[in-house]
Structure formats: structure tokens, C-alpha cells
Amino acid sequence: MAEHAIISVRGVDKVFNSGSDRAVTALQDIDLTIGRGEFISLLGPSGCGKSTLLRVMADLTGPTSGTVTVNGKTPGAARADRDYGMVFQQAGLFEWRNVLRNVELPLQVAGVKKEVHRAKALEMLELVRLSDFAGHYPWQLSGGMQQRVAIARALSADPEILFMDEPLGALDEMNRERLQGELLRIWGDTRTTVVFVTHSISEAVFLSSRVVVMSARPGRVAACIDVDLPHPRTAETRTTPEFFEKVKEVRQALHGAPSEQAAA
Amino acid sequence: MSTVPLSRPGRPALMSRALRLTPVAVTAVLLLGLWQSVVVLFDVPVFIMPSPVMIAEAFQQDFGTIMSASRSTVESVLLGLVLGSLGGVAVALVVSRFPRMSGPVLNTAVLVNCAPIVALAPIFNNWFGVTSMLSKAGVAAVMVFFPVFVNTTRGLLQIAPLHVEIMESLAARPRQVALLLRLPNALPFIFNALKLGTTLAVIGVIVSEYFGGSTEALGVYIAYQAALPRFDYAWAGILVSGALGLAMFGVVTLLERFLMPWHESLHEEES
Ligand SMILES: Nc1ncnc2c1ncn2[C@@H]1O[C@H](COP(=O)(O)OP(=O)(O)OP(=O)(O)O)[C@@H](O)[C@H]1O
Ligand SMILES: [Mg+2]
């Protein structure tokens, strides 16, 4: 699988409020290697440390112990070099910027020339099929459209890695499945490495080349399951026996994990 | 949340705005009529309350004098407003860079803001000279400074943690966070303070002018006419200063709409 590792996590622990009586071990002894171009899902029950693991890789928080390498550097260096884009559970658009200017934000911060970033942002809007809404403000968009803008924003500076923390969590089932399809298409077009956090077994199976199943308290990697369903994956893919078989396998891994809490 | 077609404030928006203003105009006319009839019916003496018609006549008679007096007052108000706002925003930008310091500084500013700053007028006359425009504008500037400073600081600091994290993930420098996130986030706060500030600036300048200065000033005119006593003329001056405050408020509101087009939604719901 990992022809060429782009992210490697070695023996990572993360303890919040360590030393106090409110200490929480969010991550324990995590080992994970992610290959260039993979679509990885982190799946597990609420509170098992999925977000924390993602944030450690993105250098939004530091590990308590262990080492993380992103694109051959420390996570801090990778962040400074803008090697990754990030999509959060909420779109978090800047309400004072229209759609186009929201997508331009990373390019503007990176000091890219104005003429260049205008063209790039328009291209990204095309990718998420929102070209007609370039001049709209966030309050004029539905939740699903806002999330697509957030995805365009995360991709606008051509990052090699895309971190996504339950980006479709707030959407209804229909929008969710549509966006999953779009996400796979974008992944195919851009060849970005994606690390995707989710609660949903079927979402993880449909999207991923590999599902990392985590267990809670303390957060550990319980299983890694390759998903070799052929591409392009479409609505029909969801109805194939192979798909159901994978869903069953992942579900078993999840329930076999030492945690009573089952994920949706 | 659903998709809303993009709407710019075109003719229909303007018309609905005009329709919304109609009740205000009707109320104003009714109040003026009531005022006029009470004064006439009960034969109220002029030094208590002149009638609107008398005030209008006085205004017409003294139009040239009142206008030239207004001019220097307007200049002082504008100068005070600009100095106070720029100062308030500048100091807020500095203070917000040191979040630990901003709490105590903000509380002190709120305390000072409770003091009647307009009481400083004689002191400013003493500092800058009674005829200097700076002594009037100075009082207005200090009065404007505090609300602008307090509100702007709040706006600069009250940013969504998610927005901060997004800027962090983009490896934005502190200067970029200030310009691209904190400042636009503070704009609604700044405009609320400016609206307050326009009223305060007019009060500051007029009251300072009551304490003397060049006779070509609205405050001096009002005080002088009242001493004569020509109360209908004094009232004409008072109403002009009221109109001045209203006009400034309107200009700030227009500026707000122009600079914050994304707030259209809020404007529509507000009124
Ligand atoms: N900043 C923090 N301070 C203290 N504890 C924290 C902090 N962030 C997370 N935790 C704890 O770490 C554990 C893992 O949290 P995390 O948010 O990574 O879980 P998650 O798998 O993303 O859950 P969910 O699916 O609900 O988002 C939880 O027990 C949580 O309470
Ligand atoms: Mg989470």
C-alpha cells in the first residue's frame, strides 16, 4: 500500500491536562504510515481521539511523546510550508468575504500574486461546481454549499495533503452522499493524499483506500482495513455485495475493538 | 439554511425603505402640529417655548448667520470625530496585540468613559485657547475616543476559535491575522461605536462652544441668542444642531452599508 510514505506516526501518545487529576489519555501508542495518494479514513466511536490525531498531524496541537513526520518534515515545518489544507466540521467561512474571496484566503496568506490567485480560486470553484456563486456571501449559501466552499478553500493552494475532520457530519444523507461522490472525483483529479475523519462506517468504506479503525479510552489503532473496491465508485457501488462485505468487515473490527460504544 | 438568490439593493429595496420611513414622517408632522396648536391654544410665552412656525421664521431671518456659524461647528465636529475614531482604533489595535493587558486597560477605559468628559471643556479652552478650533474638537475627540476604543478592542478580541484555527492552519503571521481576521471581525463593533460617536461629537463641540470662542459657531450663537433673550432664534440654532447630529449619523450608516455589504441580511431584519 504505502509505496511512498507521506505521513508517518511513530509511538504517539497524547495526554491532556497531564499531571492533574483531570488527565485524559486521548491517544496511546499510535503507529500509522500513510502512503502518498492514499485516501485514509480514521473511524471510531466518539471521543476515541480521531480529531486529536488529525490535529497532531496538522501541528494544531503537539504530541505528548512519539514522533510525527509529514512530507519528510516535522508537522510544524509542514504547516509553515503549507503542505496541507484543512477542512473542519463547520465550514468556518469568513462572513465578510464572498465565496471567491474565501477561496482565495490561503493564497493571499501565502503571498501569491493577486492575478494568479483570482484564476486559481475560480478553478477551485469549478472543481466544487460553485462557479455561479462566486459573488455570493456565506449567509446566502446552504450548509452543503458552504462546506464545498471550505473544501475549495482547503485545496486552493495546491496542498499535497488534505486533512478533513468530519467535513460532511452536519449534512443530511442526500447531500452527504452527493458530496462523497464529488470528493472522490476531486481526489481523482488532484491526486491529493486525504486523511478523513468520520463516524460513519459506510462513508469510510465508500471513500477510502484504507480504513483505520480506532478504539476508545485510550485511543488506539484497533485495525487497518484495505478497501480495494474499484474506481470510479458510484451510487451503484453502494449496492454491490463487495461493498456490503467491506462494511461488515469494518463493523466487526469496530465492535471487536475494546469499547462498548458502537459507531453509527 | 437555504439558498437565497443574490439580491443587490435595487429599486424595490429603495422603495420598501421609503415605505418604511413613511410612518416616521407622519409621526414627525403630527408632533409638530401638536406642538404648534398647544403653543397657540395656551398662549405659551416665547421664553418657555416658541412655536414651530416662529422658529421657522427666526431660522429664515437669520439663515446666513446660522449657516456660517454651523460651518465652523461642523468642521470641529468632523475633526473631533476623525481624531477620536482614528485614535480609538489605533490604540485598540495595539492593546489587542497583548490580550493579557487588554482586560485591565479595557476596564479602566470603561470607568473613564463613565465620567462626564464634556466637563473638560473649560480646561481644553485653557490649554488650546478659547478661540482655537482644537479646544472644541479636542473635547469631541476625547468623547469619541472611549466608546470607539472599547468597542473596537472587543471586536478585535471576540473572534471565533474556529477562525483562529483556520488562520493557524494556513500558517498566517500575526499581522495577517490582525488585518484579515481581527479587523473585519471588528467592523460591526466599530460602526456601532461610530454611530454613538457622531452624537457625542456634536454634544462635545456645542457644549464647548457654550463656554465661549469665536462668534461664528453654533454653540456660541445659541448661548448668545438665549442671553439676549431671543429664544426663537436660540431654538432655531438648537434644531440645526440636532439636524447636524442626525445628518452625521446618516453618513455613518451609509458608510457602514457601503463598507459592509455582507451585512445586508442583518440590515433587512433590523428595521
Ligand atoms: N483540548 C482538550 N482538553 C482536554 N481534553 C481534550 C481536549 N481535546 C480532546 N480532549 C479529550 O480527548 C479525547 C479525544 O477527543 P477527540 O476530540 O480527539 O475525539 P474524537 O474521536 O474526535 O471524537 P468525536 O467523534 O466526538 O469528534 C476525548 O476524551 C476528549 O474529551
Ligand atoms: Mg472529533
The rounded Cα B88 to chain-centroid distance in angstroms is 14
CB of A102 closer than 8 Å to CB of A93: yes
Give whole-number Cα distances, A227 to A2, A38, A224, A241, B196, in Å: 14, 11, 10, 13, 62
CB of B152 closer than 8 Å to CB of B94: no
CA distance B259 to A28: 50
| pLDDT in the model for residue A262 | 44
Q: In the structure, what pLDDT confidence band is assigned to residue B11 with cuts at 50, 70 and 90?
A: low
| pLDDT in the model for residue B194 | 93
pLDDT in tens, B193-234: 999 999 999 999 999 998 877 878 999 999 999 998 899 999
| pLDDT in the model for residue A206 | 95
CB contact under 8 A, A143 and B1: yes
Single-letter code of the amino acid located at A233: R
CA distance A105 to B170: 9
Would you state the cell numbers that stand for residue A96, as one nine-digit string?
A: 465578510
Min Cα separation A48/chain B (Å): 21
Among chain B residues, the shortest Cα distance to A157 is held by: B170
| pLDDT in the model for residue B266 | 55
CB of A152 closer than 8 Å to CB of A128: yes
- Residue to mutate, A48, A200, A215, ligand 1, most ligand atoms under 8 Å from C-beta: A48
| pLDDT in the model for residue B264 | 63
| pLDDT in the model for residue B4 | 47
Give whole-number Cα distances, B182 to A256, B67, B256, in Å: 47, 42, 17
CB of A87 closer than 8 Å to CB of A165: yes
Using the Cβ of A106 and the Cβ atoms of chain B, whether some distance falls under 8 Å is answered with yes
Residue A95: list chain B partners with CB under 8 A: 262
Mean pLDDT estimate for chain B: 87
User: Residue A262, SS3?
Assistant: coil
Q: List phi, psi (to 5°) of A30.
A: -85, 125
Cα-trace Rg, chain A? 18
CA distance B157 to B170: 20
Q: In the structure, what pLDDT confidence band is assigned to residue B67 with cuts at 50, 70 and 90?
A: very high
Number of neighbours of residue B45 by Cβ within 10 angstroms: 10
Single-letter code of the amino acid located at B122: P
Choose the closest CB to B262 out of A81, A84, A137.
A137
Which parts of chain A have pLDDT scores under 50? 1-2, 259-264
CA distance B109 to B126: 24
CA distance A16 to B194: 44
Any idea of the CA torsion for B88, B90, B95, B98, to the nearest 10 degrees?
A: 160
Check pocket membership of A50 for ligand 1, CB cut-off 6 A: yes
| pLDDT in the model for residue A257 | 54
Give mean pLDDT, residues B137-161. Answer: 93
- Indicate whether B103 pLDDT > 90: no
- Indicate whether B267 pLDDT > 50: no
- Indicate whether B7 pLDDT > 50: no
Would you state the cell numbers that stand for residue A133, as one nine-digit string?
A: 456563486
- Indicate whether B257 pLDDT > 70: yes
Q: Is the peptide bond before B229 cis (omega within 30 degrees of 0)?
A: yes
Tell me how far the alpha carbon of residue A87 lies from the centroid of ligand 2, in angstroms: 12
Check pocket membership of A130 for ligand 1, CB cut-off 6 A: no
Q: Which ligand is nearest to the CA of A26?
A: 1
Give mean pLDDT, residues B43-63. Answer: 89
Topology of domain B65-270 in CATH is MetI-like fold (1.10.3720)
Q: List phi, psi (to 5°) of B73.
A: -65, -45
User: Residue B107, SS3?
Assistant: helix
Percent of chain B with pLDDT over 70: 92
Check pocket membership of A49 for ligand 1, CB cut-off 6 A: yes
CB of B187 closer than 8 Å to CB of B35: no
Q: Which CATH class, in words, describes the domain spanning A2-83+160-263?
A: alpha beta
Tell me how far the alpha carbon of residue A170 lies from the centroid of ligand 2, in angstroms: 13
Choose the closest CB to A80 out of B165, B171, B181.
B171
Q: A227: closest CA among A203, A258, A193?
A: A203
Min Cα separation A242/chain B (Å): 37
Classify burial at B66, counting beta carbons within 10 Å of its beta carbon; exposed 0-12, middle 13-18, buried 19 or more.
buried
| pLDDT in the model for residue A201 | 93
Min Cα separation B167/chain A (Å): 9
**Sequence-ordered strand ranges (E) for chain B:** none
Q: Tell me the CA end-to-end span of chain B in Å, nearest whole number.
A: 21
- Residue to mutate, A12, A14, A15, A16, ligand 1, most ligand atoms under 8 Å from C-beta: A16
Q: In the structure, what pLDDT confidence band is assigned to residue B265 with cuts at 50, 70 and 90?
A: low
Q: In the structure, what pLDDT confidence band is assigned to residue B269 with cuts at 50, 70 and 90?
A: very low
| pLDDT in the model for residue B268 | 52
User: Domain boundaries in chain A?
Assistant: 2-83+160-263, 93-158
Q: Tell me the CA end-to-end span of chain A in Å, nearest whole number.
A: 27
